[in-house]
């Protein structure tokens, strides 16, 4: 994917769906395991995390909101609202959320005057101080303007995708600037590692090892969909597995098995077009560097989380699906 295509997003063409906030009796028979529809009604679906209370927290860029979702009932309540909303349909605004202790932090991207937004809206990490109160703790947009990648990007403030806690601060992927940033709570930002045109997306951490997914450039061939690993002190990354289209997230499951989330087969439309509907999948990493499909037929998923051996998948349509029984032997054993 060239840099310009990221203004329309890495296949994040959200459909706005309204409906019940209760669990829904729908099932998607897919792959080895079936996905059950937990809830609909999010204005859009992007990043997610499991909060300190054990609930799911999901960002909604279209609404400038973080929603709390009960993983048992699917009930949706507003956790925080009033964040900058996306400027362009389908990309930006509140992209991801993470907790340090009891405090939530949200990643906001593609807002502000550089892209035609409000002058006061900042690209960066916001601390959630209350239901309608936030403090910018790191101005990633300013850092990106002052430290652009080469060649010069189409979006000078970048298109950040994932937020991951690490060493009391955060790692942030930028799928447009093709790099990972290290951000401390005092607002210090450094470039941790840079890549070619690989489109960095999801993040997970185990000890001192960072795992990251790459969507790969257009046409998002399966061989370009990779999971890599790197140490914060190493200048390069190691390939862990490849062979799944449009990878957007990585997580550890029960038993320390590694899983990735594929948004699905490239639609062949204009750059930045979403994957084809119902072609997404959760895939498991094999020791030989391949992926095995655990559950497929998912409709353009954007992020996922594990609670026990149940996977919760957030989709760009504002749905959350749950897949029970996802487990396997520890990766590397």
How crowded is residue 249: how many other Cβ atoms within 10 Å of its Cβ? 28
20 pLDDT above the threshold of 50: no
Confidence label for 4 from pLDDT (cuts 50, 70 and 90): very low
By 3-state DSSP, what share of the chain in percent is helix, strand and coil, each rounded to 5? 5, 45, 50
Confidence label for 264 from pLDDT (cuts 50, 70 and 90): very high
Q: Encoding tokens for residue 188?
A: 């210090």
Which pLDDT belongs to residue 327?
72
pLDDT tens across 154-175, in order? 899 999 999 999 999 999 999 9
Quote the mean pLDDT of the chain: 88
Burial of 261 (0-12, 13-18, 19+ CB in 10 A): buried
If one compares 241 and 90, the residue with the highest pLDDT of the two is 241
Which pLDDT belongs to residue 273?
66
Q: How far is CA 185 from CA 73, 96, 104, in A?
A: 34, 17, 12
Long-range CB contacts for residues 211-215, cutoff 8 Å, separation at least 24: 211/240, 211/250, 211/258, 212/173, 212/180, 212/237, 212/250, 213/247, 213/248, 213/249, 213/250, 213/260, 213/261, 214/247, 215/1, 215/10, 215/11, 215/175, 215/246, 215/247, 215/248, 215/263
pLDDT tens across 224-250, in order? 999 999 999 888 999 999 999 999 999
Confidence label for 268 from pLDDT (cuts 50, 70 and 90): confident
Cβ–Cβ < 8 Å for 289, 242? yes
Q: Encoding tokens for residue 79?
A: 């956790």
Of 180, 175, 199, whose CA–CA distance to 191 is shortest? 180
Confidence label for 18 from pLDDT (cuts 50, 70 and 90): very low
Chain-centroid distance, C-alpha 52: 19
Which pLDDT belongs to residue 329?
55
- The arithmetic mean of pLDDT across residues 198-227, rounded, is 94
List helix spans (H) across 42-158: 140-146
Which pLDDT belongs to residue 267?
80
Q: Is the dihedral of CA 231, 232, 234, 237 positive or negative?
A: positive
Percent of the chain clearing pLDDT 70 (strictly above): 87
260 pLDDT above the threshold of 60: yes
Please indicate, yes or no, whether the overall pTM of this predicted structure exceeds 0.85.
yes
Burial of 287 (0-12, 13-18, 19+ CB in 10 A): exposed
Which pLDDT belongs to residue 330?
57
Q: How far apart are CA 178 and CA 153, in angstroms?
A: 10
Give 35's strand partners: 28
How crowded is residue 134: how many other Cβ atoms within 10 Å of its Cβ? 19
| 120 Cβ contact partners less than 8 Å away, ≥ 6 residues apart | none
Cβ–Cβ < 8 Å for 179, 150? no
pLDDT tens across 70-83, in order? 999 999 999 999 99
Strands, DSSP E only, in 31-132? 33-39, 48-50, 56-60, 65-69, 76-81, 93-100, 103-109, 124-130
88 pLDDT above the threshold of 90: no
- The arithmetic mean of pLDDT across residues 200-218, rounded, is 95
- Domains of the chain in sequence order: 3-323 (2.120.10.30)
């Amino acid at each position: 994917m060239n840099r310009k295509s990221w203004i329309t997003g890495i296949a994040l063409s959200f459909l706005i769906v309204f409906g019940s906030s209760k669990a829904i009796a729908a099932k998607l028979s897919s792959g080895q395991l079936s996905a059950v529809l937990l809830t609909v009604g999010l204005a859009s679906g992007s990043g997610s995390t499991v909060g300190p209370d054990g609930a799911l927290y999901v960002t909604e860029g279209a609404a400038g909101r973080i929603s709390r979702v009960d993983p048992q009932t699917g009930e949706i309540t507003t956790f925080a609202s009033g964040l900058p909303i996306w400027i362009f349909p389908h990309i930006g605004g509140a992209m991801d959320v993470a907790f340090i202790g009891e405090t939530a932090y949200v990643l906001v991207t593609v807002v502000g005057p550089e892209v035609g937004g409000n002058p006061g809206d900042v690209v960066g990490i916001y601390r959630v101080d209350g239901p309608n109160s936030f403090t910018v703790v790191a101005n990633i947009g300013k850092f990106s303007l002052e430290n652009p990648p080469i060649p010069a990007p189409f979006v000078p403030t970048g298109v950040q995708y994932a937020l991951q806690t690490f060493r009391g601060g955060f790692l942030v992927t930028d799928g447009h600037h093709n790099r990972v940033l290290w951000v401390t709570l005092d607002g210090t930002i450094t470039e941790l590692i840079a890549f070619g045109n690989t489109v960095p997306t999801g993040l997970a951490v185990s000890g001192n090892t960072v795992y990251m997914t790459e969507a790969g450039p257009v046409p998002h061939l399966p061989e370009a969909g990779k999971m890599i690993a790197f140490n914060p002190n190493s200048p390069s990354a190691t390939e862990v597995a490849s062979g799944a289209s449009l990878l957007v997230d990585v997580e550890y499951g029960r038993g320390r098995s590694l899983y990735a989330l594929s948004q699905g087969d490239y639609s062949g439309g204009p750059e930045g077009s979403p994957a084809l509907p119902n072609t997404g999948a959760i895939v498991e990493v094999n020791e030989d560097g391949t992926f095995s499909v655990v559950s497929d037929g998912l409709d353009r998923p954007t992020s996922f989380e594990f609670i026990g051996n149940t996977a919760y998948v957030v989709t760009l349509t504002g749905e959350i699906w749950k897949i029970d029984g996802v487990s396997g032997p520890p990766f590397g054993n």
